[in-house]
Structure 1
Amino acid sequence: MDEHAVSFLQELVETPSPSGFEQPVQRIMRRELSPLADEVRTDVMGNVIARIDAASSQAMRVMLAGHCDEIGFMVRYIDDNGFIYFAPIGGVDAHLVPGQRVHVHTADGPVLGVVGKKPIHLMEPKDRETVVKLNSQFIDLGCADGEAARKLVAVGDPVTFAVGFERLQGELAASRGFDDKMGAFIVVEVLRAVRQRGVPPVEVYGVSTVQEEVGLRGATTSAFGIDPQIGIAVDVGFASDVPGVEMKEIGEFKVGGGPIISRGANINPALFDLLLRTAEEEGIPCQIMGAPRGTGTDANVMQLTRAGVAAALVQVPLRYMHSPVEVLSLADIEATIRLLTGVIYRLDSDFSIIPN
C-alpha cells in the first residue's frame, strides 16, 4: 500500500467516530469522495453517499457499504469529586477498559483522562478474579472536584480510547477503529479505482454508513433511499489464527490470507459465485466463510430492504476485534480493493441476480 493511502487510512482510524458521533470522520469521507464521484451527499442519518454514473441510464445500481462508526463510551454522570461515569457505545469488553487512557470529545476539543482502578494490593483475592462492570468504572480527568470537571466535559459527550495507528512487522498494522473505518476506506479506494479505470457498467454507490455498532441503522435507511439491485457490505471478520480461537466454531481465517467471502442465507448465490470467479481470474487469494444465518453486518439489512436486494459480504480478517489493538494486514485491504473493483466491471447486462 502506498504511503498516501496509508496516511489516509491512519487519518480515518484516528479520527473519533463513536456511533451517533460520526461527523468528524464523515467530513474526511466527503473530502476524499468529492473529486471521485458524480454526486456526493449526506442524508438525514449522517450517511455519506457517493455516486458514479454508468454508461447507461438502465444500468443496475450497486451499493458498496462500509460503516464508519466505532465503539466507544458516553459520559453519563459526573460526581462531586470530579470522576466521570460512563456507558458503552456498542459492544465494549469490560475486561479491556481499566487502565486505559481515553479522550473525552467535548465541544472545545478532546480532554485526556484515564480509567482508574483500585490497585491490586488493595483488592481482596476474590475481587481480583472479578471483572468490574462498566457502570462501576470511572474516568479520572485529574480535576480537583465536580465543578472543575463539569467545566471541561458534559453529560452526553462521547469517549474513545486514546490510541492510534501503528505499523507492526511486515504488512500488519494495529489500531483502534479498524472495525470498520477500514471498510469505509476500501469503499473510497474502490471508487478511486473505478474513476481511474473508466465508466463502469453499473451505477456505483459508495456509502459510508453510520450507527452500525448500535443496530445496522445507517445501512437500513441508506439502502432504502438508494434502492439498489446489488448491495455489498465491506467489513472486518474474525481471524482465527491466534491462540484461544476455535476454528471448529468459526472457520479457518488467517490475517494475510486475503479477503473473506461469506456464503449462506444472507448472500445471493450468483453474487457469491461472481466474487469467487473474480478472485480466481484476478489471482487474488481469498477465504470462504460459512454464514448459515443473517451475518450481523450491513449486508443483513441491505438484503431485506424494500422487495429484496442481492447481497454479499466481503470481510478483511481482523485480530482482537473491539479492542484498542485491532490487527490486520494492509495487503488484505489491497486485495479487497482489487476484488471489488474487478466485480464491478464484470456486472454486465447479462448478469442475473435471480437464484436458479
Structure 2
Amino acid sequence: MNKQDFNFLKKLVETPSPSGYEQPAQRVIRAELESVADDMQTDVMGNLISHLAGKGGPKLMLAGHCDEIGFMVQYVDDNGFIYFGAIGGVDPHLTPGQRVKIHTADGEVSGVIGKKAIHLIEPKDRDTVIKLKEQYIDIGCGSKEEVLKLVAIGDPVTFAVGVEKLQRDLVTSRAFDDKMGAFIVTEVMKKVKQKGGGTAELYSVSTVQEEIGLRGATTSSYGVNPDAGIVVEVTHATDYPGVEKMGIGDVEVGKGPVIARGPNINPVLFQLLMETAEKEKIPVQVVGAPRGLGNDANVMQLSRGGVATALVAIPLRYMHTPVEVLSLGDLDSAIKLLTALSLRLEKGQSFIPV
C-alpha cells in the first residue's frame, strides 16, 4: 500500500464515527471521491452513495459500513462522574482502565474509564466482570455542573487509540470494523475511474448504523436497487491462540481476502469472484456460511425483489476491541479483486442461478 492510500486509511479509521454519528467519517470519504464520482448523494439515514456511470451494464453496488462501536454519555452524577451506554457490541471485560475521547460540539474531551485498584478489590471479586452500566468516565471534573459545561447528554465516545504499524505489513487500531471496508469500496471506485470506467453502473456506498442492526444497508440497498451487490466486511481470523477453527474455518491474516459461500451468497456472483481471483492471480480464502450473515449482506440480499449478493471479507484479529489487527496486503488484494470484477461485468450479465 502506498503512502497516500495509507494516510487516507489512517485518517478515515481515526475519525470518530460511532453508529448514528457517522458524519465526520462520511465527510472524509466525500472529500476523497468528489473529483472521482459522477454524482454523490447523502440520504436521510446518512449513507453516502457515490455513482460512477457505466455503459449500460448491470448496477453493481459495493458497500462498506463506516460506523464503529463506541459509547454514549447518558448520566452525570453529582461528583462529576459520567455514566454511559454502549453503541454496538462492546465487551465490558475490556473497558475498565481504557482512555477515551468524548466527542462534543466544541471538540474532543479526554477521559478515562475508572478502575478500582486491585489492592482494594476483595480476592473473591477480582474475576468478576463489572457491568457496563456500573462503569464510569472520569474527565477530571469535580461536579456535575462542571462536566455539563463541557459535555452534553448524548455525546458519543470512542476509545482513544489510532492506527499503528506492527511487524511485516500488519497494523492495529480500533474501528477497522468496518471503516477499512468503506476505505476499500472508495479505493475501488478510484481505480475503476483511473482505468477509464467499466460497462457496469458502479455505486460505492458507505453505509451507516450496521453495528446496531444493519440499518443503513437496508435503506441504501432499497434506494440504489442494484442488480448485484458486494459487501466488504471483516471476518474473524482463526490464526491466533484460543480461537476454535471448527465453527468458522481456517482463516489467516495475510493470506488474502475471504469469499463467503452459502445461502446468503448468489452462486453466479461467487463464481465470478473466484474466476476473477484466479485470472488476476489474487490469493483468496473461502469460508462456508450456512445461514444468513450477521452483516449488511443479509439485508442487501432481501431488498425489494432480491439482490445477487456476495461478501468479500478481510481477516481480522481481536474484533470489537481497541487493538484490532489486519494485513495491509489483504486490503490491497481486495481492492484489486473488486476492481477487476467491476470492469469484467458486461451488458446482459445474468445473476439468476440455474
TM over 0.5: yes
| Equivalence map 1:136-215=2 (5 Å) | 136-215=134-213
How many Å separate the matches in 2 of 1:55 and 1:275?
Answer: 21
| Equivalence map 1:284-295=2 (5 Å) | 284-295=282-293
| Equivalence map 1:36-55=2 (5 Å) | 36-55=36-55
How many Å separate the matches in 2 of 1:323 and 1:301?
Answer: 25
Question: Among the aligned pairs, what percent are the same residue?
Answer: 63
How many Å separate the matches in 1 of 2:192 and 2:218?
Answer: 25
SS at match of 2:51: strand
SS at match of 1:345: helix
How many Å separate the matches in 1 of 2:25 and 2:174?
Answer: 14
TM superposition shift of 1:349: 2.5
Is 1:241 the counterpart of 2:239? The answer is yes
Structure 2: gaps (5+ residues): none
TM superposition shift of 1:126: 1.8
Assess if the C-alpha contact under 8 Å between 2:58 and 2:348 holds in 1: no
Which amino acid in structure 1 is aligned with residue 268 of structure 2?
A: A
Cα deviation code 1:274-303 (max 9, x no counterpart)? 101111111011000100111111111110
How many Å separate the matches in 1 of 2:22 and 2:234?
Answer: 18
TM superposition shift of 1:150: 1.1
How many Å separate the matches in 2 of 1:199 and 1:94?
Answer: 46
Which amino acid in structure 2 is aligned with residue 25 of structure 1?
A: A
SS at match of 1:183: helix
SS at match of 2:5: helix
Which amino acid in structure 2 is aligned with residue 258 of structure 1?
A: G
TM superposition shift of 1:199: 2.3
How many Å separate the matches in 2 of 1:55 and 1:268?
Answer: 24
Q: What's 1:109 paired with?
A: 107
How many Å separate the matches in 1 of 2:26 and 2:65?
Answer: 10
TM superposition shift of 1:265: 0.7
How many Å separate the matches in 2 of 1:207 and 1:186?
Answer: 11
SS at match of 1:66: strand
Q: What's 1:217 paired with?
A: 215
How many Å separate the matches in 2 of 1:155 and 1:264?
Answer: 43
SS at match of 2:126: helix
Q: What's 2:271 paired with?
A: 273
SS at match of 2:75: strand
Q: What's 2:12 paired with?
A: 12
Q: What's 2:316 paired with?
A: 318
Q: TM-score, normalised by structure 1?
A: 0.99
How many Å separate the matches in 1 of 2:293 and 2:352?
Answer: 20
Q: What's 2:117 paired with?
A: 119
Which amino acid in structure 2 is aligned with residue 313 of structure 1?
A: L
TM superposition shift of 1:117: 1.1
TM superposition shift of 1:183: 0.3
Cα deviation code 1:217-247 (max 9, x no counterpart)? 0000011011001010001110000000001
Q: Higher mean Cα deviation, 86-95 or 345-354?
A: 345-354
Cα deviation code 1:96-153 (max 9, x no counterpart)? 1000000011111010000001111111112101110100000000001111111111
How many Å separate the matches in 1 of 2:201 and 2:121?
Answer: 61
Which amino acid in structure 2 is aligned with residue 21 of structure 1?
A: Y
SS at match of 1:24: helix
Cα deviation code 1:37-79 (max 9, x no counterpart)? 10011110000000000112xx211100000000000001000
Which amino acid in structure 2 is aligned with residue 132 of structure 1?
A: I
How many Å separate the matches in 2 of 1:228 and 1:222?
Answer: 10
Q: What's 1:72 paired with?
A: 70
How many Å separate the matches in 2 of 1:210 and 1:100?
Answer: 26
How many Å separate the matches in 2 of 1:74 and 1:312?
Answer: 33
Structure 1: gaps (5+ residues): none
Is 1:25 the counterpart of 2:21? The answer is no
| Equivalence map 1:305-344=2 (5 Å) | 305-344=303-342
TM superposition shift of 1:318: 0.4
Q: TM-score, normalised by structure 2?
A: 0.99
Aligned length: 354
SS at match of 2:25: helix
SS at match of 1:204: strand
Find 2:345's aligned residue among 330, 343, 347.
Answer: 347
SS at match of 1:218: helix
Q: What's 1:87 paired with?
A: 85
Which amino acid in structure 1 is aligned with residue 53 of structure 2?
A: D
Which amino acid in structure 2 is aligned with residue 22 of structure 1?
A: E
TM superposition shift of 1:350: 4.9
TM superposition shift of 1:18: 0.1
